[in-house]
């Protein structure tokens, strides 16, 4: 008897959970990319400090602010470090009211999608949850978003996700240029109708919007000014959808795009345009720079260094957004200059004539005489000797920089590097400690090896720039290999696009045909007249979704297999008398399995119905047979996903024209019309199409038949017209006599 007792006990727990409404959150504490390398060589990205507190602390503080009670931290690389960091932080204290559970995932988790599948298999989620990354800085009241999401779920079970976005303008520093998106929203409900990912290079100049979203949504906003905050409220179905679609990698680019583009899933995703609050992800070194500036200029209030520092430091806020520790441990020389938007860590020393401008400095650092730091982000325990110039760079913990060194824009210096006096690191170079100490990320060992080989070759020339007594390994600047590289890397991670994610890169040499102006122009025109269909959008969608000559096209092996499968399944359905729902589910699955366009399924269904009508002698019994058959199975045509009467008629026409049952066309069409499977307007619209007349068909025999069917259609329209005028007369005469006229 233990088996029945167990589920009952778990269901009890679930009930209790529902009563308590525990708000759960999932933090994906891995970036799944290498944008911060080499800083992330021996620590996970979520433990990189920003404004002297680790990214994970900022994220947890943001969640605690929003009243989240239970947090699952999904860690992959350096999982032990993440676990230890959580244990040693204030969050492990019971009084914080936050229950944090670190969840280790396999090394084979390569994308957020894999992590979501992992969440699904762990079965840790019990209700709608908040999904964030471990690099989020946010003060948005997420609980309000969750409430809005849950209210929506009460009326619409298919609203599976709410994405938090913020209006930021097209050129905001915090909006990632390399990884943004065009959102198509319903203006009234802010339902996200379409998601078009965009990258910085090649610049996106054209957004393709499926035309069917314009039906039923009269007020549409096409927006290119939204900053994706990466806070998603997900329903329980979301991990299971990831499980079903094993190829979904990225949450936005694959999942959101996929769900919205799919006409099978019938799920809705909504946007929450945050009016108040701030949220952004430290996705790359460029956004690291932007978000540091946002924190220092207090956009994240009350989550600012002098008020609620996640690491527990106490800072004084001085005029010009300068943050100096309260404990008086900082030693500032009388002649040093501390510029605006600067944060100094505890026990840091800034010596004579040094300048620190728009930079953050970690704890226990020393800045030498006459050194200039501009936009430099320096982690803990760094020693910078006299007369150095550091600009727009990230310096890892424990780095030692010798006298008179220059570190150029966009450089990353890994933890523990020693740079001798007079080192000149050119822009965008990365340094790591000596090769012996360099341990690559196990997951991409092969990649590292080849890069290492390449780097070693250039090492003699590169290491000339290092001063004496250096302990460093300079990675060569990668040059764009436009042809070779893009083969194995997707658009997002391509070299040129990644330059948009890099600190201190002004992309002056990139050929950008001003992507901003083109898209904003589009936006302007479509926003001003939201209910008209943008010209280029229709053209493209029709080109993609309607292949012109379907039946005669050569079919690939996969499609052939699909067609046999569909035929078999239909035969089974017809002979065994399945219910319409079951038959349609079977067809949908088949379609998903072989990834064919919807039209193919419709063709197969129409063909199946037409071919299976029993042939009998005489027009009247034949009509009865057709009626019976269409009554039983006709609805299947529309159940397989999406109603498109015009397409149905045109498929029927082409099928009949190429089949022996050519003479049944008129009667079947009439039967479809009687059963409301096609509407009168559909027949009219089909009839005016040039293809309906057989345009573009070479085969003379086929052409003749097509033309004949067209004439049949013309006759039917004529009949409909007459009927309409009759009906008009009838209704004018007397309504009660309507029955007689039939």
Partner 1 sequence: MATEPQTAAGQRPVEALAAKLRRRQVVGSRETALETALVLRQVVSKARFQNINQLVEIIRSVGQKLIEAQPKEHTVGNTVRKLLHHIREEYNNASKGKATASVNEFSIANFVLQGQPRRQIAALKGESTLVLKEDDLDDPDSFARTLKPVVMEAIQDILDELETVYDNIGKSAKDHIHSDEIILTIGRSKTVETYLKSAAHYHKFTVIVAESGPSYGGHDMARSLSSSGISTFLVPDSSIYALMSRVSKVILGAMLFLQMVASTAARAHSTPVMVCAGQFKLTPLWNLYHEYGALDFADPSSVLGFEEGELVDKVDVVNPYYDYVRPDLVNVYVTNDGDHPPPSMYRLVKESYDDEDNEF
DSSP β-ladder status, 220-223 and 179-186: antiparallel
**Site membership for partner 1, residue 179 (CB under 8 A):** no
Binding residue for partner 1, selected from 33, 69, 126, 168, defined by CB under 8 A: 168
β-sheet bridge partners, residue 27: 73, 132
- Contact window for partner 1 (CB under 8 A) among 5-13, 173-181, 494-502, 614-622: 173-181
The residue (of 165 and 683) whose beta carbon lies closer to partner 1 is: 165
- Report the SS3 class of residue 391: strand
97 sits near partner 1 (criterion: CB under 8 A): yes
Q: How far is CA 336 from CA 238, 321, 323, 365, 505, in A?
A: 54, 17, 15, 15, 28
- DSSP conformation class of 93: S
Stretch that binds partner 1, among 26-34, 94-102, 145-153, 209-217 (CB under 8 A): 94-102
- Provide the minimum distance between the beta carbon of 316 and partner 1 in the complex, in angstroms, as a whole number: 8
Pairing of strands 220-223, 136-138: unpaired
Closer of 30 and 225 to partner 1 (Cβ): 225
Using rule CB under 8 A, residue 621 touches partner 1? no
Residues 335-374 that bind partner 1 (CB under 8 A): 340-341
The answer to whether 59 contacts partner 1 (rule: CB under 8 A) is no
Which residue, 63 or 131, is less far from partner 1 as judged by CB?
A: 63
Q: Which is nearer to partner 1, 93 or 488 (CB)?
A: 93
HEC string of 467-498 equals CCCCECEEECCCCCCHHHHCCCCCCCCCHHHH
Ramachandran angles phi, psi of 591, nearest 5°: -65, -40
Q: Which of 78, 166, 253, 428 binds partner 1 (CB under 8 A)?
A: 166
Does 317 interact with partner 1 (rule: CB under 8 A)?
yes
| Interacting residue with partner 1 among 314, 552, 616, 711 (CB under 8 A) | 314
Could you say whether residue 95 binds partner 1 (CB under 8 A)? yes
How many residues are given for the chain? Answer: 742
Q: Is 69 in the site for partner 1 (CB under 8 A)?
A: no
Q: Tell me the H-state helices in 126-207.
A: 142-155
Q: Which of 15, 16, 206, 302 binds partner 1 (CB under 8 A)?
A: 302
**Contact flag: residue 544 with partner 1 (CB under 8 A):** no
Taking a C-beta distance cutoff of 8 angstroms, is the pair 650, 691 a contact?
A: yes
> What backbone phi and psi angles, to 5 degrees, belong to 253?
-65, -35
Structure tokens at 82: 């993440």
Distances (CA, A) of 147 to 155, 159, 348, 369: 13, 13, 44, 55
- CB-wise, 213 or 229, nearer to partner 1? 229
Contact set for partner 1, span 214-273 (CB under 8 A): 225
Contacting residue, 14, 92, 121, 171, with partner 1 by CB under 8 A: 171
The verdict on 321 binding partner 1 (CB under 8 A) reads yes
Q: Which range in 315-323, 531-539, 589-597, 614-622 contacts partner 1 by CB under 8 A?
A: 315-323
Q: Give ∠ CA 294-190-178 in degrees, rounded to 5.
A: 45
* Tokens 């609203």 -> residue: 159
* Among 11, 14, 219, 307, interactor with partner 1 by CB under 8 A: 307
Structure tokens at 239: 């991990």
The token pair that represents 596 in the structure block: 């064919």
CA–CA separation, 690 and 706 (whole Å): 11
* Per CB under 8 A, 172 contacts partner 1: yes
- Of 19, 215, 276, 742, the one binding partner 1 (CB under 8 A) is 276
Best CA proximity match to 571, nearest among 526, 520, 609:
609
Tell me: does residue 308 bind partner 1 (CB under 8 A).
yes
Q: Does 99 bind partner 1 (CB under 8 A)?
A: no
The CA-atom distances, in angstroms, between 1 and each of 8, 434, 624 are 12, 63, 58
Which residue's CB is nearer to partner 1, number 20 or number 554?
Answer: 20
**Judged by CB under 8 A, does residue 65 bind partner 1?**
yes
Give the shortest CB-165-to-partner 1 separation in angstroms: 12
- Cβ of residue 409: shortest distance to partner 1, in angstroms? 17
Q: How far apart are CA 487 and CA 399, in angstroms?
A: 37
Our finding on whether 320 is near partner 1 (CB under 8 A) is yes
Collapsing DSSP states into helix, strand and coil, what is residue 357? strand
Cis amide prior to 302 (ω within 30 degrees): yes
Tally Cβ neighbours within 10 Å of residue 87: 11
> Could you say whether residue 177 binds partner 1 (CB under 8 A)?
no
Which residue in the block uniquely carries the two structure tokens 């199946």?
608
Q: Which residues pair with 31 in a beta bridge?
A: none
Task: Report if residue 93 touches partner 1, rule: CB under 8 A.
Answer: yes
Between 50 and 583, CB nearer to partner 1: 50
169 scored as a contact of partner 1 (CB under 8 A): yes
DSSP 8-state class, residue 532 = S
Stretch touching partner 1 by CB under 8 A, among 163-171, 179-187, 517-525, 615-623: 163-171
Q: Which of 478, 284, 345, 395 is nearest to 39 (CA)?
A: 395
* Per rule CB under 8 A, count of chain residues that contact partner 1: 39
Answer yes or no whether residue 591 interacts with partner 1 by CB under 8 A: no
The interface mask with partner 1, positions 108-147, x = CB under 8 A, is: ----------------------------------------
Whether the CB-CB separation of 422 and 403 falls below 8 Å is answered with yes
**Smaller CB distance to partner 1: residue 180 or 268?**
180
Q: Residues in the site for partner 1, rule: CB under 8 A?
A: 64-65, 93-97, 166-175, 225, 276, 278, 293, 297-303, 307-308, 314, 316-321, 340-341
């Amino acid at each position: 008897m233990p088996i029945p007792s167990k589920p009952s006990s778990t269901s009890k727990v679930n009930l209790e959970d529902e009563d308590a409404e525990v708000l759960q959150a999932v933090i994906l504490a891995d970036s799944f990319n290498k944008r911060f390398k080499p800083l992330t060589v021996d620590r996970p990205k979520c433990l990189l400090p920003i404004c002297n507190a680790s990214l994970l602390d900022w994220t947890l503080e943001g969640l605690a602010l929003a009243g989240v009670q239970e947090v699952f931290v999904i860690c992959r690389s350096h999982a032990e470090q993440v676990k230890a960091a959580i244990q040693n932080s204030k969050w492990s204290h019971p009084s914080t009211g936050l229950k944090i559970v670190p969840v280790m995932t396999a090394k084979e988790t390569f994308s957020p999608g894999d992590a979501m599948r992992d969440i699904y298999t762990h079965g840790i989620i019990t209700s709608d949850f908040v999904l964030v990354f471990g690099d989020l800085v946010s003060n948005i009241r997420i609980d309000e978003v969750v409430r809005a999401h849950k209210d929506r779920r009460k009326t619409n079970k298919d609203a599976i996700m709410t994405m938090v976005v913020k209006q930021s303008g097209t050129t905001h520093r915090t909006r990632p240029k390399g990884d943004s998106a065009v959102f198509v929203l319903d203006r009234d409900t802010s339902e996200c109708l379409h998601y078009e990912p965009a990258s910085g290079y090649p610049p996106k100049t054209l957004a393709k919007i499926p035309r069917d979203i314009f039906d039923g949504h009269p007020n549409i906003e096409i927006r290119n000014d939204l900053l994706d905050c990466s806070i998603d409220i997900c329903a329980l179905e979301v991990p299971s959808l990831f499980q079903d679609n094993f190829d979904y990698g990225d949450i936005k680019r694959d999942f959101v795009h996929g769900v919205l583009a799919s006409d099978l899933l019938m799920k809705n995703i909504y946007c929450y345009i945050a009016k108040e609050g701030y949220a952004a992800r430290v996705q790359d070194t460029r956004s690291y720079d932007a978000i540091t500036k946002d924190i220092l200029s207090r956009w994240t209030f009350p989550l600012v260094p002098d008020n609620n520092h996640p690491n527990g430091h106490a800072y004084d806020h001085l005029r010009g957004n300068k943050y100096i520790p309260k404990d008086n441990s900082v030693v500032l020389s009388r002649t040093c200059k501390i510029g605006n938007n600067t944060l100094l860590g505890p026990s840091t020393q800034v010596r004579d004539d040094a300048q620190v401008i728009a930079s953050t400095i970690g704890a226990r650092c020393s800045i030498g005489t006459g050194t200039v730091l501009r936009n430099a982000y320096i982690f803990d325990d760094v020693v910078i000797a006299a007369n150095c110039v550091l600009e727009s760079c990230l310096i890892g913990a424990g780095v030692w920089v010798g006298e008179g060194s220059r570190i150029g824009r966009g450089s990353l210096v890994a933890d523990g590097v020693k740079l001798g006096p007079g080192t000149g690191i050119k822009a965008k170079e990365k340094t790591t400690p000596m090769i012996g100490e360099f341990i690559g990320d196990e997951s991409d060992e092969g990649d590292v090896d080849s890069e290492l080989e390449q780097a070693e070759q250039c090492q003699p020339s590169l290491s000339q720039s290092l001063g004496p007594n250096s302990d460093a390994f300079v990675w060569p600047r990668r040059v764009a290999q436009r042809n070779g590289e893009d083969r194995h890397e997707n658009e997002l991670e391509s070299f040129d696009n990644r330059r948009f994610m890099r600190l201190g890169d002004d992309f002056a040499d990139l050929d950008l045909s001003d992507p901003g102006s083109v898209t904003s122009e589009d936006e302007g025109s479509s926003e001003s007249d939201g209910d008209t269909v943008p010209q280029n959008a229709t053209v493209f969608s029709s080109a993609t979704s309607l292949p012109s000559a379907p039946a005669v096209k050569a079919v690939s092996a996969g499609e052939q297999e699909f067609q046999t499968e569909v035929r078999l399944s239909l035969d089974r359905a017809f002979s065994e008398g399945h219910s319409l729902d079951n038959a349609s589910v079977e067809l949908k699955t088949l379609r998903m399995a072989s990834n064919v366009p919807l039209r193919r399924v419709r063709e197969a269904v129409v063909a199946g119905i037409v071919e299976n009508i029993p042939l009998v002698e005489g027009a009247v019994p034949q009509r009865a047979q057709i009626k019976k058959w269409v009554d039983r199975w006709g609805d299947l045509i529309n159940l397989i996903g999406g109603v498109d009467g015009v397409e149905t008629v045109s498929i029927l026409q082409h099928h009949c024209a190429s089949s022996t049952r050519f003479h049944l066309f008129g009667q079947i069409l009439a039967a479809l019309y009687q059963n409301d499977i096609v509407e009168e307007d559909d027949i009219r619209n089909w009839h005016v199409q040039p293809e309906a007349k057989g345009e573009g068909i070479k085969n003379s025999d086929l052409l003749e038949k097509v033309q004949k069917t067209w004439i049949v259609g013309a006759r039917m329209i004529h009949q409909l017209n007459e009927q309409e005028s009759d009906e008009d007369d009838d209704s004018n005469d007397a309504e009660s006599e309507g029955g007689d006229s039939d």
